[in-house]
Structure 1
Amino acid sequence: MLLNLFVFIVALQHLLIMWLEMTVPSPRAARAFNISPDKLQQKEIKTLFVNQGLYNGFLAAGLLWSLFAPADLARPLQAFFLGCVITAAIFGAATANKKILWIQGGPAMAAFLVWLFS
């Protein structure tokens, strides 16, 4: 039960990230990603954000799928998708903003630890 709660929280977080990235330009997205509203108006930036949002939506979909999958499939799905989130957070921290490791990766790492010990 605790594992499912953690996985659900990570999935919700990625749905929120998807929404922020796919609804640009918005003042909320500008604040969340520390980008000027003028820069968010650029077509290339909008395209990149929408693409990133789609990937975050896929991560959320996989995590939600794991909550409804049979038990023998749920655990591998959770490990895979949590691993993807953690990997993306590490890469994002290394290439874009160090806060990503804790904001995006922190909940996924906590969920993975619960997965590991459950």
Structure 2
Amino acid sequence: MRPLFLILVALIAVLHIYVAWFEIFAWTSRGPVVFDTLPVELFAQTTELAANQGVYNAFLAAGLIWALFIRDRVWQRRVAICFLSFVLVAGIAAALTVSLRPGMFQILPSSVAIIVAALERLLARRSE
């Protein structure tokens, strides 16, 4: 279970690095392609807002990456779950305010990782 949890944390961190790059550097070039239901002129007008969101996604990625380098297993899990919870809340907010699709990209992976962490902890307690 532990390797699966760490892999999920790493993958979610990579996802947020990509999202941060997209929002900070590719908003006006890739944004209209990805969000094809929005008017094209909206992207130039919202560059600063998207970049700000990108910074938040970069912080989420940084926290998840930091968790991967913590040697103490208990604190590693705690820090990872903290940042996974932030990702989950951000996904719920996106689903409620933007649309379900972008929210699900955060809700599903973070929920699965949190469940895997809980199962790992439960199995560890049973084996003690």
Q: TM-score, normalised by structure 2?
A: 0.84
Sequence identity percentage: 32
CA distance in 2, matches of 1:67, 1:33: 32
Deviation at 1:87, TM superposition (A): 0.5
**Where in structure 1 are there 5+ consecutive unaligned residues?**
none
> 1:37: how far off?
2.8
Name whichever of 64-73 and 51-60 sits farther off. Answer: 64-73
Distance 1:33 1:104 in 2: 17
SS of the aligned residue for 2:28 comes to: coil
- Report the Cα offset of residue 101 of structure 1: 2.8
Deviations 1:66-103 (A, max 9, x none): 00012232111111000000001011101111112322
Q: Secondary structure at the match of 2:31?
A: helix
Greater gyration radius: 2
| Residue type of the alignment partner of 1:21 | E
Amino acid across the alignment from 1:22: I
Verify: 1:33 aligned to 2:35, yes or no.
yes
Q: How many residues align?
A: 115
The equivalent residue for 2:57 is 56
Q: CA deviation at 1:18?
A: 0.4
**Paired residue type of 1:84:** F
One-letter code aligned to 1:38: E
**TM-score w.r.t. length of structure 1:** 0.90
Aligned partner (choices 58, 83, 105) of residue 103 of structure 1:
105
- Higher deviation after alignment, 9-18 or 93-102: 93-102
C-alpha RMSD over aligned residues: 1.2
Runs of 4+ in 1 over 4 A off after TM superposition: none
Distance 1:33 1:81 in 2: 26
| Distance in 1 of aligned mates of 2:32 and 2:55 | 18
